[in-house]
Protein backbone atom coordinates (compact mmCIF):
# COMPACT_ATOMS: atom_id res chain seq x y z
CA UNK A 1 0.00 0.00 0.00
CA UNK A 2 2.71 2.43 0.91
CA UNK A 3 4.50 1.65 -2.34
CA UNK A 4 1.28 2.13 -4.30
CA UNK A 5 0.66 5.47 -2.62
CA UNK A 6 4.24 6.56 -3.27
CA UNK A 7 3.92 5.55 -6.92
CA UNK A 8 0.64 7.47 -7.09
CA UNK A 9 2.31 10.57 -5.69
CA UNK A 10 5.08 10.25 -8.25
CA UNK A 11 2.54 9.89 -11.07
CA UNK A 12 0.61 12.89 -9.77
CA UNK A 13 3.77 14.97 -9.58
CA UNK A 14 4.47 14.11 -13.21
CA UNK A 15 0.94 15.16 -14.17
CA UNK A 16 -0.38 11.68 -14.90
CA UNK A 17 -3.49 12.01 -12.77
CA UNK A 18 -5.33 8.99 -14.12
CA UNK A 19 -2.42 6.67 -13.27
CA UNK A 20 -2.14 8.36 -9.87
CA UNK A 21 -5.85 7.78 -9.26
CA UNK A 22 -5.46 4.12 -10.16
CA UNK A 23 -2.54 3.63 -7.75
CA UNK A 24 -4.28 5.40 -4.86
CA UNK A 25 -7.51 3.45 -5.43
CA UNK A 26 -5.55 0.19 -5.37
CA UNK A 27 -3.83 1.23 -2.13
CA UNK A 28 -7.20 2.19 -0.65
CA UNK A 29 -8.71 -1.17 -1.54
CA UNK A 30 -5.87 -3.05 0.13
CA UNK A 31 -6.00 -0.79 3.19
CA UNK A 32 -9.74 -1.41 3.51
CA UNK A 33 -9.30 -5.17 3.09
CA UNK A 34 -6.91 -5.30 6.03
CA UNK A 35 -8.83 -2.60 7.94
CA UNK A 36 -5.79 -0.34 8.40
CA UNK A 37 -7.47 2.95 9.28
CA UNK A 38 -4.30 5.00 9.06
CA UNK A 39 -3.55 3.84 5.51
CA UNK A 40 -7.20 4.23 4.52
CA UNK A 41 -6.96 7.84 5.64
CA UNK A 42 -3.69 8.40 3.75
CA UNK A 43 -5.04 6.83 0.56
CA UNK A 44 -8.25 8.86 0.70
CA UNK A 45 -6.28 12.06 1.22
CA UNK A 46 -4.05 11.24 -1.75
CA UNK A 47 -7.12 10.55 -3.88
CA UNK A 48 -8.55 13.89 -2.82
CA UNK A 49 -5.45 15.67 -4.08
CA UNK A 50 -5.74 13.88 -7.44
CA UNK A 51 -9.41 14.81 -7.75
CA UNK A 52 -8.62 18.45 -6.96
CA UNK A 53 -6.03 18.46 -9.72
CA UNK A 54 -8.66 17.00 -12.07
CA UNK A 55 -11.06 19.80 -11.00
CA UNK A 56 -13.45 17.27 -9.49
CA UNK A 57 -13.88 19.38 -6.38
CA UNK A 58 -16.94 17.58 -5.04
CA UNK A 59 -15.22 14.18 -5.12
CA UNK A 60 -12.03 15.70 -3.70
CA UNK A 61 -13.95 17.15 -0.78
CA UNK A 62 -15.65 13.81 -0.12
CA UNK A 63 -12.28 12.04 0.02
CA UNK A 64 -10.65 14.69 2.22
CA UNK A 65 -13.57 14.78 4.64
CA UNK A 66 -13.70 10.97 4.93
CA UNK A 67 -9.94 10.97 5.54
CA UNK A 68 -10.35 13.62 8.22
CA UNK A 69 -13.19 11.72 9.91
CA UNK A 70 -11.12 8.54 10.04
CA UNK A 71 -8.17 10.45 11.48
CA UNK A 72 -10.38 11.90 14.19
CA UNK A 73 -12.06 8.57 15.01
CA UNK A 74 -8.82 6.66 15.27
CA UNK A 75 -7.05 9.45 17.07
CA UNK A 76 -4.25 9.62 14.55
CA UNK A 77 -3.30 13.04 15.80
CA UNK A 78 -0.23 13.36 13.58
CA UNK A 79 -2.33 12.52 10.51
CA UNK A 80 -5.03 14.95 11.64
CA UNK A 81 -2.52 17.77 12.15
CA UNK A 82 -0.93 17.05 8.76
CA UNK A 83 -4.38 17.25 7.14
CA UNK A 84 -5.14 20.60 8.76
CA UNK A 85 -1.75 22.04 7.83
CA UNK A 86 -1.98 20.81 4.23
CA UNK A 87 -5.54 21.85 3.49
CA UNK A 88 -6.26 24.95 5.53
What is the per-residue pLDDT across 25-73, written as a single tens digit (0 to 9) for each?
999 999 999 999 989 999 999 999 999 999 999 999 999 999 988 887 7
| Alpha-carbon gap, residue 62 to 67, rounded angstroms | 9
Q: What is the CATH number of domain 2-87?
A: 1.25.40.10
For 75, half-sphere exposure in the C-beta direction (CA atoms, 13 angstrom radius) is 0
N residues, the chain: 88
Are the beta carbons of 43 and 1 closer than 8 angstroms? yes
Q: What pLDDT sits at residue 17? A: 97
Nearest CA among 77, 51, 74 for reference residue 63: 51
75 DSSP assignment? T
Amino acid sequence: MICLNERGIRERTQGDYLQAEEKHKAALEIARNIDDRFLISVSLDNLGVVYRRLDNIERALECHLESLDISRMTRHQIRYCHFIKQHW
